[in-house]
Chains A and B, each alone.
Chain A
Amino acid sequence: MDDIDAMFSDMLQEMDLLTQSLGAEAESAPLPKPPSIPAPQEMNFSIGFTDLNASLHEMEDNDLDALMADLVADISATEEKFATDRDTSKGSAPFAPIPIQPQSNFGLPVSTDTSKPATSSNSIAAPPPPPASKPSKEEQEEQIKADKIKLALEKLKEAKVKKLVVKVEIMDGSSKTLMVDERQTVREVMDQLFEKTHCDCNVDWCVCETNPDLQTERGFEDHENLVEPLSTWTRDTENKVVFLEKKDKYEVFRNPQLFYMWKKDKKSLMDMKEKDKEQLLEENFCGASIIVPDLEGILYMKEDGKKSWKQRYFLLRASGLYYSPKGKTKASRDLVCLVQFDNVNVYYCKEYRNKYKAPTDHCFILKHPQIQKESQYIKYLCCDDELTMTLWVTGIRIAKYGKQLYENYKAAVRKAAGTGSWANRTIQASSSASTPSPTPKAKAANGHAPQLPKDTKGPGNQTSFPPPPPSMETLPPPPPDPMLPPPPPAPPASTTKVNKFSPPTRFPQSSFPPPPMDDLPPPPPPPEDAELPPDFLPPPPPSFPPYGGDSLPPPPPDPKTLHLQVELHHLHPHPRLHHQLLHRQPNHPPAPSEKCLQLHQRELHLYKQRPQVANSCQN
Chain B
Amino acid sequence: MASWDLSVSVEELGSEAPPLKVSVTSDLHIGGVILKVVEKSQIKRDWSDHALWWEQKQQWLLKPSWTLDKCGIHADARLFLTPQHKPLRLLMPNAISVRLRVCFSSPVFRTVMGICKLLNIRHPEELSLLWPVEGKKKKKDKDVETEVYDITCSPLPSSTILKLANGMPAFYAESPETEAVYKMLAVSQPPPAPETIAKMYQTTNVMEKAQINSRWLDSSRSLLQQGVKENDKLQLRFKYYSFHDITPQTDVVRLTQLYEQARWAILLEEIECTEEEMMVFAALQYHIGKVSLTEQFVASSPAMDDLDSALQCLEVKMEGESSADDMLETMTAPELHDYLKIFRPKRLTLKGYKQYWFTFKDTTISYYKSKEESSKEPIQQMNLKGCEVAPDVSVAGQKFCIRLLIPGPEGMNEVYLRCEHEQQYSRWMAACRLASKGKTLADSSFSSEVQSIQSFLAMQKTTPSNNTAQTDESINTHSLVSPRYQKKYKPKQLTPRILEAYQNVAQISLTDAIQKFLQIWQALPDFGLSYIVVRFKGCRKDEVLGIANNRLIRIDLSVGDVVKTWRYNTMRQWNVNWDIKQVAIEFDGNVNIAFSCVTADCKIVHEYIGGYIFMSTRGREQSDTLNEELFHKLTGGHEAL
Contact = CB atoms under 8 A, between A and B. Distances in A.
Interface of A: 7, 11, 38-39, 41-47, 112, 114, 146, 149-150, 153, 156-157, 232-234, 261, 263, 276, 279, 283, 287-292, 294, 317-320, 322, 329, 331-333, 335, 337, 340, 342-343, 368-373, 375-378, 592-597, 599-604, 606-608, 610, 612-615, 617-619
Given A149-B324, A294-B525, A332-B277, 5 more contacts: A333-B269, A333-B272, A592-B570, A593-B569, A619-B59
A279 B520 CA distance: 22
B42 interface: no
Contact of A343 (B276, B381, B388): B388
Contact of A607 (B275, B407, B504, B637): B637
B571 A46 contact: no
B641 A608 contact: yes
7 contacts: A7-B328, A43-B408, A47-B408, A149-B324, A290-B523, A592-B568, A608-B641
B575 A618 contact: no
A311 B327 CA distance: 55
Interface in B572-611: 572-575, 578-579, 581, 603, 610
Contact of B380 (A45, A375, A613, A614): A45
A156 B331 contact: yes
B499 to A, nearest CB: 16
Nearest to B485: A333
B106 interface: no
Interface centre among A11, A112, A290, A600 (most CB of B within 10 A): A600
A331 B272 contact: yes
Given A46-B383, A47-B383, A319-B280, A371 B410 contact: yes
B548 to A, nearest CB: 10
B96 interface: no
A146 B57 CA distance: 86
A612 B637 CA distance: 12
B639 A596 contact: no
Interface in B258-278: 269, 272-277
B613 A340 contact: no
B123 to A, nearest CB: 13
A45 B383 contact: yes
Contacts of A340: 276
Interface of B: 57-59, 225, 243, 246, 269, 272-277, 280, 324, 327-328, 331, 347, 362, 366, 377-383, 386, 388, 406-413, 484, 504, 515, 518-520, 522-526, 550, 560, 565, 568-575, 578-579, 581, 603, 610, 613, 616-617, 633-634, 637-641
A261 B566 CA distance: 11
Nearest 9 A/B pairs, CB to CB: A375-B411, A592-B569, A614-B578, A370-B407, A289-B519, A372-B409, A318-B523, A332-B272, A368-B407
Contact of B579 (A290, A332, A617): A617
A369 B616 CA distance: 41
Interface centre among B377, B408, B637, B639 (most CB of A within 10 A): B408
Nearest to A114: B362
Given A294-B525, A375-B410, A607-B638, A599 B572 contact: yes
A525 B275 CA distance: 65
A369 B409 CA distance: 9
A283 B550 contact: yes
Nearest to A335: B274
Nearest to A213: B409
Given A43-B380, A45-B408, A593-B613, A333 B574 contact: no
Contacts of B380: 41-43, 45
A317 B560 contact: no
Contacts of A597: 613, 617, 634
Contacts of B523: 289-292, 317-319
A317 B526 CA distance: 11
A342 B347 CA distance: 27
Given A47-B383, A343-B386, A599-B573, A371 B634 contact: no
B412 A234 contact: no
Given A288-B522, A317-B274, A343-B388, A593 B411 contact: no
Contacts of B381: 38, 45-46
Given A42-B379, A290-B523, A607-B641, A600 B573 contact: yes
Contact of B382 (A45, A149, A288, A619): A45
A370 B616 CA distance: 45
Nearest to B521: A289
Contact of B412 (A288, A375, A607): A375
Contact of A319 (B276, B386, B407, B641): B276
Given A289-B522, A596-B568, A606-B575, A322 B633 contact: no
Nearest to B523: A318
A602 B573 contact: yes
Contacts of B406: 45
B579 A600 contact: no
Contacts of A372: 409-410
A289 B520 contact: yes
A377 B411 contact: yes
Contacts of B413: 43, 45
A279 B569 CA distance: 9
Given A375-B412, A613-B579, A614-B638, A337 B275 contact: yes
Nearest to B412: A377
A317 B610 contact: no
A478 to B, nearest CB: 37
Given A43-B380, A604-B633, A607-B637, A234 B578 contact: no
A271 B572 CA distance: 18
B438 to A, nearest CB: 9
Given A290-B523, A599-B572, A601-B633, A373 B409 contact: yes
B274 A337 contact: yes
B159 to A, nearest CB: 27
A595 B246 CA distance: 27
A312 to B, nearest CB: 15
Nearest to A279: B569
Given A600-B574, A619-B58, A317 B525 contact: yes
A73 to B, nearest CB: 29
Contact of B274 (A44, A46, A322): A322
B274 A370 contact: no
A38 B379 CA distance: 9
Given A596-B613, A614-B578, A619-B57, A373 B411 contact: yes
Contacts of A287: 522
B409 A319 contact: no
A615 B274 contact: no
Contacts of B504: 342
Contacts of B379: 41-42
A236 B542 CA distance: 65
Contacts of B57: 619
A331 B206 CA distance: 12
Contacts of A378: 411
A91 to B, nearest CB: 16
Contacts of B525: 294, 317, 332
Contacts of A38: 366, 377-378, 381
Given A146-B324, A372-B410, A377-B411, A604 B641 contact: yes
A44 B575 CA distance: 71
A43 B603 CA distance: 70
Contacts of A318: 520, 523-524
